[in-house]
Chains A and B, each alone.
Chain A
């Protein structure tokens, strides 16, 4: 794949990008309290005195959250640090009840790992993971409830987040998009984060810099809190272009935190390095260092599901699929399962073609997801069986599929009802072909002179006469025999 370059007035620039993803951990209760974490609950209905920063309240680590983070670390092929430390990140804000966020700083739970991107050209691009650490989420300030007042909802306060920091290995907006999608896929496979960006359970901060190819890193800017894959890709492009313009005008990049405005398609400054907070991190004296036992990590490892990369490898090896198709099929666990059901005992490539072609097309067109599809794996398999045993042609199958999607009926029933069964009877086809040959002596002569185009015309006429039901392979054979022999 051609490298992504930003073309400026003075030449080409390379993009350097790293992402910090905040992923909300799936758990019934919060990181340091027993309060519930359900999304969309009545404001302040899921708040314990710990989450509200009441005097004398103390955090107690939720072991399940640690397990989820360890599992995620293993899924990122990362080292699990046997000892990690929770620290306090101090700043004042109304939705931060304690006046500090409990996070991990110098000693994160998870160290370096790798995520492999499956690019459309089949290339696999490794992106380094710098670290994963656990931290608590803040509440939410609501400024739009009453003029002149701000309300605070603490339901989210204390919910467990994983901050997953990539290395600055990303070189194009496409890779950034692929990275988020791949990470989300891994998190969903593991059941550690639902990956829902709209509900804020996956949030993204972007670090962007540009450089002339082969030079060292440039000064970076951070774009905060971008909430969709598309916006992330746009924001990177917009920010990179902004930086190139400044540099080409002889300016300097000022390290700062910026916000992306999706309406204007541009980033704007939020605060500069000088205005940055001094968070005064220090180890939280309310919590002991977090020690994870080897045995426990091994047990978690032993119970890991098959992850996208392994599944992709298996699909390539046991189904003979190409890397890209495999990557697409395994991106979502349900899709992969669906595929395996369809492919079972059938031509795996045909099954893959049908799934990634007609089936995905229909899902996209109708906005239905896999769990609500009118054509389940068994029904799709039946349709493919009808193609494989020659009952219907691929072309007719597409019509049948549309009908199945509309009505939910089975392929067999539709073929029966509409009489779409392929004509594979030699006698019947011969009679039809003989009639066409007899009525068109001029065209016959042209074929005999070697005009292959006219051969195609005969195929068309035959299909027309049979309403498309003629077995195309047989039609071709019969015509060749009768016209060229």
Chain B
């Protein structure tokens, strides 16, 4: 029989429902898997005792007939979600020792649905990065290796720990957050499913903020069905988040009908960027063919402002970040540099010690673009560009129901390979950022392997709040791709 940590979330749920396993058994298996996966550095904090205690409670609830939709399912939680009484670092030294007195809405929703927490997953510092190398707690390793090469690879970022943990079978699923591609790109790099819902679908309350107008929580799973189940539990209106939308949460699993006949799938011509590897172009074509075979109609579309998305994003996101990160001043919680003679020194030393290079870079960029005299040229212009990009999508969705594109312009790269080249690093987000700026939902589904044996994802983008269609098409794509490859490292083997 397949080991309990190697099945999907949906399969685990069905076993639990049939009484063929218990949450304690399932969770114990995963606690062991988390331990065995330590070489990946996917977790900043493991919470095995809490996991077992939650599993026992879950079994007790089930015995009373009170099982929730995620009853007994062990999960990894990106360490950007505040978890009550459990160290929450955002991958930064500046939150040294911070244990929140509150629980984020999304994790609270998951616990209410019956889920169990395995621990807090590693991430780029404050979710700023595309390789999980900016974490104060060290880089995360991708469980995949290039064929015939044992060089450690990045899992992508910023949700690199979540991606690595799910790909290595150390967690049935994980939460991620996506600001410019932080769920979808690592999902693509590690051969798993990652979904960014519409902005406003999941509450941001209790998630350490990076760029408030873009941040959105979403699931990272080993199947589209699992993503549908997870999203159903995570989503919902939250009066504590003014940007969360008051709309009913549909039964996403029901959307997986397998029927996409007659759907129009947009193929944006602007996404055929120069220098895109042929294998990615080929995979994209393969994806178009799969959907066509399933009865959908590919339509070439134009998203004319695509080229401006990345520059606009790298103004808006740092601008908001520079303000969001001002609260880390050493006054109330987290790190405070000792021995500063004056207030100003205390601020400077605390922030110099507490923030890493990438965070400092973005805080400086953000402060600059908001400064008097530069505001209109940078921040204001970027906002206008953002509006135009959102219009591009609106126009496109008049013609098509979803958009199909590659998730990332490359497969996973080696740890250290791009660390000194921030521009090359930022280019990782070229296909994910436009959707983030427009606030539309997107899912990355593993679709094939690169020439050297690494997973590559394809991305489905949909209309705002139409996660159902995105999931439905993702599910069809998943079935067609029939991605059965496994990473070099699988926990517990």
Binding site for B on A (CB under 8 A): 49, 52-61, 88, 90, 92, 94, 97-100, 150, 152, 278, 280-282, 285-288
Contacts and interface: CB of A to CB of B under 8 A. Distances in A.
Contact of A88 (B90, B104, B206, B323): B323
A56 B331 contact: no
Given A54-B100, A278-B371, A285 B239 contact: no
Contacts of B212: 285-286
Given A55-B98, A56-B82, A61 B242 contact: yes
Interface string B357-387: 0000000000100111001000100000000
Nearest to A152: B331
Given A58-B240, A288-B243, A99 B327 contact: yes
B104 A53 contact: no
A55 B210 CA distance: 10
16 contacts: A53-B332, A54-B332, A55-B208, A56-B204, A58-B240, A61-B242, A90-B326, A94-B343, A99-B329, A280-B322, A280-B371, A282-B320, A282-B323, A286-B209, A286-B212, A287-B242
Contact of B242 (A55, A60, A281): A60
Nearest to B239: A60
Contacts of A285: 211-213, 243, 320
Nearest to B204: A58
B122 interface: no
Most buried by B among A56, A57, A97: A56
A276 to B, nearest CB: 10
Contact of B326 (A54, A61, A94, A99): A99
B367 A280 contact: yes
A457 to B, nearest CB: 80
B323 A90 contact: yes
A97 B332 contact: yes
Given A49-B101, A54-B102, 4 more contacts: A55-B208, A60-B241, A152-B331, A281-B370
Interface in B157-181: none
A129 B205 CA distance: 38
A150 B344 CA distance: 13
B207 interface: yes
Contacts of A152: 331
A61 B243 CA distance: 12
Nearest to B82: A56
A100 B332 contact: no
Contacts, number: 97
Contacts of A57: 205-206
A55 B243 contact: no
A92 B323 CA distance: 10
B319 A282 contact: yes
Nearest to A60: B242
A450 to B, nearest CB: 85
Contacts of A52: 332
Interface string B312-330: 0000000110110111010
Interface of B: 81-82, 88, 90, 95, 98, 100-102, 104, 204-209, 211-213, 239-243, 319-320, 322-323, 325-327, 329, 331-333, 343, 347, 367, 370-372, 375, 379
A286 B90 CA distance: 19
B350 to A, nearest CB: 11
Contacts of B241: 58, 60
Contacts of A49: 101-102
A76 B14 CA distance: 65
* Secondary structure class of chain B's binding surface, majority of residues: loop
A122 B90 CA distance: 65
A288 B213 CA distance: 10
Nearest to A284: B212
Contacts of B239: 60
Contacts of A56: 81-82, 100, 104, 204-209
A100 B347 contact: no
A94 B350 CA distance: 13
A60 B88 CA distance: 23
A83 to B, nearest CB: 15
Nearest to A34: B240
Contacts of B95: 55
Nearest to B334: A55
A55 B332 contact: no
A286 B212 CA distance: 6
Nearest to A32: B242
A55 B82 contact: yes
Nearest to A276: B372
A310 B97 CA distance: 60
Nearest to B238: A58
A134 to B, nearest CB: 15
Contact of A97 (B207, B327, B370): B327
Contacts of B211: 285
Most buried by A among B239, B331, B332, B379: B331
A288 B242 contact: yes
Per CB-CB distance, the 5 closest pairs between chain A and chain B, nearest first, are A99-B326, A285-B213, A280-B370, A285-B212, A53-B327
A61 B242 CA distance: 8
Most buried by A among B90, B240, B379: B240
A47 to B, nearest CB: 10
B419 to A, nearest CB: 26
A61 B81 CA distance: 23
A55 B213 contact: no
Most buried by A among B88, B95, B370: B370
Contacts of B100: 54-56
Nearest to B126: A55
A55 B91 CA distance: 13
Nearest to B333: A54
B323 A55 contact: no
A288 B244 CA distance: 10
A53 B333 CA distance: 10
Contacts of B243: 285-288
Nearest to A89: B323
A409 B158 CA distance: 81
A122 to B, nearest CB: 47
A252 B333 CA distance: 47
B207 A100 contact: no
Nearest to B316: A285
Nearest to A282: B370
A278 B367 CA distance: 10
Contacts of B375: 280, 282
Contacts of B90: 55
A98 B327 contact: yes
Contacts of B370: 90, 280-282
A100 B204 contact: no
Most buried by B among A58, A88, A150: A58
A304 B375 CA distance: 41
A424 B90 CA distance: 93
Contacts of A97: 327, 331-332
B467 to A, nearest CB: 21
A323 to B, nearest CB: 47
Contacts of B208: 55-56
Nearest to A88: B323
Nearest to B368: A280
A55 B327 contact: yes
Nearest to B101: A49
A280 B379 CA distance: 10
A99 B332 CA distance: 12
A100 B324 CA distance: 9
A100 B320 CA distance: 12
B317 to A, nearest CB: 10
